[in-house]
Amino acid sequence: MSIRLGYQIPSFSYPGGDPIRIAPTVVQQAREADAAGFDAVFVMDHFYQLPGLGDPSEPMLEAYTLLGALATATENVQLSTLVTGNTYRNPTLLAKAVTTLDVMSGGRAVLGLGAGWFELEHQQLGFEFGTFTDRFDRLEEALAILEPMLRGERPTVSGDWYRTESAMNEPRVRDDLPILIGGSGERKTFKYAARHAAHLNLICDTAEIPRKLDALAQRCEEAGRDRATLETSYLGFVMMAERADDAERLLHDHLAARGTDLDSLDDEQRRRVTDRMFVGTPDEVAGLVKERVLDQGVDGIVFNMVANGHEPGVVEMAGKALGPLVGKG
């Protein structure tokens, strides 16, 4: 498994607003990423749209149903959530879902996993939210079930949250389906990544990357693991256009639609709002990603193009610009 270049599809609010157009527009993006040599295509595991991306009432598709459809529409890319909310599914059901995706995609599934955090979904849809500690305790217990089931073992667990009795998981096309952990928590998230994951996706400000990598190295040392065996990537927002003015307009329009007037912010406010955004021409974005992410020691970049990724050719343009940075193309 290697994910040095990943494309995330986080939004299904496309121009015109016709639900019947969602499926072909999503498939188009996935196929474009596949043809452009991306390592993976990701979708979010949410039921409502997230703050910062849109209103909760905006369109959102169920992740594993969508990934199953993308398995038939693509040939090479790995397929995953970024990341599955552990609170939404019993771990045995999740093991079956991701293994079924692996079977149907010919061994291209990755289990992306996190503790869960979006309280509004839990409150309105009836999922138990609990405390921060509850959610991470549940995640740890879920991993004790999920990892063995993905490896062909039959775990028996009697925990505070979950119970299994010699749980089976058949069929499988492999016993090394990779686990990806996503987040920024230096104590718990990184500890679980060091113990269970092949890949850690970082979600943090770029200025925090060196500290995060130092903390990850410490968690790996505590787990008796060679840090070099745990691949890392960073999740960013790319606003790319052939002309710099057009890219800047994408940024302004995206933020304005969510209530932020970029021109009214001082330098520090602007930095905070745009830290995870890489804005400009293909060459400019490539330079920013190299300087702010890859040169800091992160192995790869996963990004969304929420402003214009649905437009034909845009994902391909980004792949051509960023692929060479990570040895693609």
Q: pLDDT tens across 190-221, in order?
A: 999 999 999 999 999 999 999 999 999 999 99
- Helix, strand, coil in percent for the chain, rounding step 5: 45, 15, 40
Structural domains of the chain, with CATH = 5-326 (3.20.20.30)
Written as six digits, the tokens of 170 are 């058949």
- Over residues 47-80, the pLDDT tens digits come to 999 998 999 999 999 999 999 999 999 999 999 9
Answer for the pair 222, 26: CB distance below 8 angstroms, yes or no. no
- Alpha-helical (H) ranges within the chain are 22-35, 63-73, 91-105, 119-125, 132-150, 188-196, 209-222, 244-256, 267-274, 282-292, 314-322
- Over residues 142-184, the pLDDT tens digits come to 999 999 999 999 999 999 999 999 999 999 999 999 999 999 9
pLDDT-based confidence at residue 104 (cuts at 50, 70, 90): very high
Query: What mean pLDDT value characterizes the chain?
Result: 97
Give the SS3 label for residue 27.
helix
Question: What is the maximum span of the chain, computed from C-alpha positions, in angstroms?
Answer: 60
